[in-house]
Structure 1
Amino acid sequence: MSGRRPSATLPESVDVGKSASADLDVTVGQYTHRGPKDINQDFHGALVPSGHQLASRGVAVALADGISSSNVSQVASQAAVTGFLQDYYCTSDAWSVRKSAQRVILATNSWLYAQTRQSQFRFDHDRGYVCTLSVMVLKSATAHLFHVGDARIYRVQGHSLEQLTTDHRVWVSRHESYLGRALGVGQRLEIDYQTLPLEAGDVFVMATDGVHGFLSQQQITAAISAHGDDLDKAAQAIVSQALDQGSDDNLTVQVVRVNRVSDKTGASELYRQMNGLPFPPELDARMDFDGYRIIRKLHASNRSHVFLAVDRVTEGPVVLKTPAVELREDPVLLERFLMEEWIARRIDNPHVVRPCPPERRRNYLYIALEYIEGQTLEQWMRDHPKPELTVVRDIIGQLARGVRGFHRLEMLHQDLKPGNVMIDTMGTVRIVDFGAARVAGLMDLSLPEEGQGVPGAALHTAPEYLLGHEPTARSDQFSLALLTYQMLSGKLPYGVRVPRIRHPRDLNALTYHSLRMDRPDVPVWMDEAIRKALHPDPARRYEALSEFLQDLSRPSRNFLNRTRKPFMERDPVAFWQGGCALLLLALLASFLGW
């Protein structure tokens, strides 16, 4: 998903043209109509990429159908289609079509489910953000089909249609049924997948039940034959006939014709599809590598090596990130490396590093990212051991906006530490590493292996990771508050105790040391805000990151009331004057017999 909530006022499709490649040539025709209903809850789209992505990712065609019981289902349909067409082409070239598409669909499903859980429909999923989704990816000489719901994908066989998908509809009686499988219903999703060999001349039809429930196969194939190469008119004719036949639903049709298939399906390409891109050779300064000239190594860890390089085509600086040799024997860490590129392409946020556009085919496994001229937050902290409060607030505010870019996509960063943050020469803060990120719907890939420990740096992680509890957005909040504390004091709020946690009782040993012991200029209310965000119990932290940022900038009434000094400390003279006056009145009353 893109993180931007789709608008229901957008058109009901993502348009496409015609592929013009020596490898694969495809024509797509599409048409949709709301029928007798007020709103069109169908959404469809197709995308033919240019350049090497046509060969590496193929052509994608997607169709979603909302459910009539929901007033927001059209938002779900649009999110499912646009999200797939955007995110599928952001996945790593080393991933197979199946792996890329399924992970995009699972992430979309989790996003839709979260929207329902956060809305007034959380107890009635039939009224929430739910839809069907059918996807066809044509790559080289193979069609890859992904299907959830009751829309259909057909292949034209002469004057009839071969149904390639199964309707996920459960019939209670002859006249009553319900959708047995759909996006947005639950956190888990089962996706039908199959592959078919492609041949020149193949024609496929994708249709919602507002069409296939009212037309015969012969009527559909006749309309396609009657309009020759104009597949848009063929799709429109099919919809018009279904309306004439009494269709009472939204109607959408997509017709896909394969004009030419790739002839590059030899052993080398099949090997790459099965095994991914090869590991790069050992890189060094002044070395030419896959269209880049290596300048110098910037960083090295047990997960990756980072190099400054120059693109030999654009002559612009880039950062190349290659997997460490250790990853060859660790499929979990290698999977995270590949996930990092997909995440980088998904997020469009000024405070998150951007990947370089994939303008050419890669021959090795690596990630190309924009070069940020500046310094890490780690170095900045060394240069500014006692920073001004306003400067710290600005840095944390920018960093939080980057973190919220992850949260909006149902992702957790999980590794916020000074070395993973860059501050450029203009003062803009950027997150530059997210190899430990957790994507909702892909839990099995995001969780560390048993014995592997926390996904990020243990000193900067939230205690719940050490206890094996489910992390949430409040876990990133803890790490962000820890960076705030560290920037102001140069210390960690709990020292080195957090990595030693093994049992819930160990949380009692985490005693917060007030920032004011090292920074008396920190207001009491600001110290209390950081204390709350750093609470060992996630339930005791802020519900939203925005609340923490607000309390960092202005006094919270709750904190002011809690930390307000007694009257005797605030004005001792007035306190004793008042006390003496009361004592005098008491003596006069006793003397006069009052």
Structure 2
Amino acid sequence: MTNTQQLDSLQDCSHKNHNDCLVISFGGYSTKGDKSENQDAFALKMADGIDLEIKGHAAVIADGLSSANCAAQASQMSVCHFIEEYLATPETWSVKKSAAKVISSLNKWLYSRQLIADEKGLSEQWFSTFSAIVLKGDRGYVFHVGDCQIVKINDDGYQALTKDHATVSGTLTRALGADSHIEVDYKTTSLAPQDILMLSCDGVHHFVKPKQIKQILKENSNLEQASKVICQLASEQGSQDNLTCLLINVEQLPQQAFSQLVFTRLQQVIPPALRPGSKLDHFEIIDVLHQTSRSHVYLARDLLVKKLVVIKAPSVNFTDDNDYLSSFIREGWIGDKLTHPAIMKIYPRLATSKFLYHVCEYIEGQTLSAWIRDNPNPSLIKVRDILEQLIKALRVLQRQDIIHCDIKGDNFIIDSDGRIKLIDFGSCFAGAIMDNTVGLASDKFSFNQGTLNFSAPELFYGQANNHQSELYSLAVLVYQMLTNRLPYKEINQLDDAPKHFALWRYHPIKTFRKDLPNYLDRVLSKALAANPTNRFEHYSEFIAEFNIKDKNQLNVQGNLPLLERDPVKFWQGMSGVLFFILLSVLFFK
């Protein structure tokens, strides 16, 4: 009896050369062995086209615990649920985030089966081990709970990628469904052509030696046959358990420098500089809104649906700059995935167009930078309102596993009603894109994103952008709204940045706005802490502290030492005292 889910191993690489795909072949086998029921399950889902680059191939094995009376159902549910739900996660999510969310949900569902049965006076245990690997780009992403095993076999040897969660006596210490929360082992491994990945249950890998497995692979080029031989050998060597083995051969890694999405759109032509009255596909150019050496932005009318839109196109100066063009294409892909009132919409592109450009939502208003110049001393109430809107927009990105990397006033528009919209995604990175190590150099974090004076200090020291560094940039923007100044000394080039965290000197906001409450400096100095370990971790913490309205809280802030409330005034006073003491000493001499 087999318990196997297989799909065609031939992949559709669309228009691309076959060598540009991550190509695998596989074969698996499962049998009940000496037991009356097969409580193992395995599955492999192959992807193609853009799904291959965004989600990758996914393989999973599960072994229901024999002590549980719903073991077979638990293992089957585990593999089916993981495969289906992993592929259904947002396209922007990284492999790690997608898999972690799905496994957590799966564990809670299995655990809830027992609770529901208990309420009905029944006895059900839905326990299963679980091991999965996602193959994407040139890496494998491993997720593991229990005592199944994933190994990588190649000329360098036999490398176990997982460790059993079991005591010396063999008692499992971790399994899906055993508790409301589950700790999942996670690691990544590099892939190379001709690597063999083997997923097996404990009834197999505890009874077959690595040397025997390598010999079987040499003698059997058919992976399904090899899987069957390995399971049979385990039985011959004393295994009385269910027997399951899945073998995956990495035949080819992606070789092309660009993703399929980028490759496709690079075939399009950059439109020439356009003038009012010109037409681009079914759009009529009304006005030139912005024109630089990098890009052209136009107000246009969509002649099909009779509405105003904004057309953004790269400059022809960048026809041969694939790094810039891939960033431009990525911006359109990310914008197409985001739908929220606080975020400008980038509409799906016209599939038949031969031109490279974005069609964006038209928003009437001014940039937040222009608003700051026009409102040099805004009320705290107004800034609170804007901050809350900014956080709503950034939380949308956070939920989609997107890091903006360039939060500043120029990238937001505020309309006449005070509503805020995020309008630029040119520096954004999505987790799904960052998974890929095969790609452009610009797809890796380096200090070429963002605006220096809004960049978190840790970025100057080689750390990667994350949502806490985004919070820092947001706090700089809030500080700027309140004072029209920067919280630290201006940085005009990388070498101007202080050499370590201790050298960053925060300028108290009360220096510029005496009318603002004292507690704001405590809040902003924490949000703007140079060392991220001293900073707020979450937007919710920042906004809660910023929105202090309770009089008792305000009094507590007002009763703080002068050094904390107004450092400048403290040191000015201290200097005066020291000067007076010095004069007294000189006089009495």
TM-score (norm 1): 0.56
- Pick closer, same or farther for the CA change 1:278–1:475 going to 2, 3 Å: same
- Pick closer, same or farther for the CA change 1:468–1:508 going to 2, 3 Å: same
Across the aligned residues of Structure 1 and Structure 2, the Cα RMSD in angstroms comes to 5.5
Which letter does structure 2 place at the counterpart of 1:564?
N
What is the aligned counterpart of 1:388 among 379, 382, 389? 379
Q: Does residue 469 of the first structure (1) align with residue 463 of the second (2)?
A: yes
How big is each residue's C-alpha offset from its partner over 1:159-190, in whole Å with a ceiling of 9 and x where there is no partner? xxxxxxxx986589xxx99888xx99435664
Q: Does residue 521 of the first structure (1) align with residue 515 of the second (2)?
A: yes
What is the aligned counterpart of 1:455 among 449, 458, 462? 449
- Counterpart CA distance in 2 for 1:117 and 1:542 is 28
How big is each residue's C-alpha offset from its partner over 1:277-296, in whole Å with a ceiling of 9 and x where there is no partner? 12212222110112211111
How big is each residue's C-alpha offset from its partner over 1:308-351, in whole Å with a ceiling of 9 and x where there is no partner? 11112111111111112343343222221111111112223332
What is the aligned counterpart of 1:512 among 506, 516, 526? 506
2:285 corresponds to = 294
| 1:44 Cα deviation from its structure 2 partner | 7.2
1:111 corresponds to = 97
Q: Does residue 342 of the first structure (1) align with residue 317 of the second (2)?
A: no
- Pick closer, same or farther for the CA change 1:134–1:507 going to 2, 3 Å: closer
What is the aligned counterpart of 1:363 among 354, 366, 375? 354
1:538 corresponds to = 532
How big is each residue's C-alpha offset from its partner over 1:349-398, in whole Å with a ceiling of 9 and x where there is no partner? 33221111345422111111111122211222233222221211111111
Contact 1:417/1:479, CA 8 A, preserved across alignment: yes
Which letter does structure 2 place at the counterpart of 1:312?
L
Q: Does residue 486 of the first structure (1) align with residue 502 of the second (2)?
A: no
SS at match of 1:485: helix
Gaps of 5+ in 2: 1-31, 65-73, 108-127, 143-148, 163-183, 205-223, 225-240, 245-261, 566-589
- Counterpart CA distance in 2 for 1:117 and 1:44 is 16
SS at match of 1:481: helix
How big is each residue's C-alpha offset from its partner over 1:403-441, in whole Å with a ceiling of 9 and x where there is no partner? 122223333211111110012344321111121123342
- Counterpart CA distance in 1 for 2:367 and 2:82 is 39
- Counterpart CA distance in 1 for 2:159 and 2:445 is 41
| 1:503 Cα deviation from its structure 2 partner | 6.5
Contact 1:377/1:421, CA 8 A, preserved across alignment: yes
| 1:79 Cα deviation from its structure 2 partner | 4.2
- Counterpart CA distance in 1 for 2:378 and 2:43 is 54
- Counterpart CA distance in 2 for 1:185 and 1:431 is 34
SS at match of 2:435: coil
Q: Does residue 399 of the first structure (1) align with residue 396 of the second (2)?
A: no
- Pick closer, same or farther for the CA change 1:399–1:565 going to 2, 3 Å: closer
TM-score (norm 2): 0.56
Gaps of 5+ in 1: 1-34, 48-53, 88-103, 122-126, 136-144, 151-166, 194-207, 214-219, 221-245, 250-270, 571-594
| 1:510 Cα deviation from its structure 2 partner | 2.9
| 1:116 Cα deviation from its structure 2 partner | 9.6
- Pick closer, same or farther for the CA change 1:134–1:448 going to 2, 3 Å: closer
Counterparts of 1:80-99 in structure 2, within 5 Å, are 80-83=86-89, 87=91
Counterparts of 1:29-40 in structure 2, within 5 Å, are none
Size of the aligned set, in residue pairs, is 416
| 1:560 Cα deviation from its structure 2 partner | 6.8
| 1:209 Cα deviation from its structure 2 partner | 11
- Pick closer, same or farther for the CA change 1:318–1:188 going to 2, 3 Å: farther
Q: Does residue 352 of the first structure (1) align with residue 349 of the second (2)?
A: no
SS at match of 1:494: coil
What is the aligned counterpart of 1:372 among 360, 363, 366? 363
Which letter does structure 2 place at the counterpart of 1:436?
S
Contact 1:462/1:475, CA 8 A, preserved across alignment: yes
- Pick closer, same or farther for the CA change 1:178–1:509 going to 2, 3 Å: closer
Which letter does structure 2 place at the counterpart of 1:410?
D
Contact 1:459/1:496, CA 8 A, preserved across alignment: yes
SS at match of 2:360: strand
Counterparts of 1:242-257 in structure 2, within 5 Å, are none
Q: Which range is displaced more, 287-296 or 67-76?
A: 67-76
- Counterpart CA distance in 1 for 2:129 and 2:291 is 46
Contact 2:468/2:532, CA 8 A, preserved across alignment: yes
Counterparts of 1:135-146 in structure 2, within 5 Å, are none
Contact 1:80/1:133, CA 8 A, preserved across alignment: no
- Counterpart CA distance in 2 for 1:46 and 1:331 is 26
- Pick closer, same or farther for the CA change 1:192–1:343 going to 2, 3 Å: farther
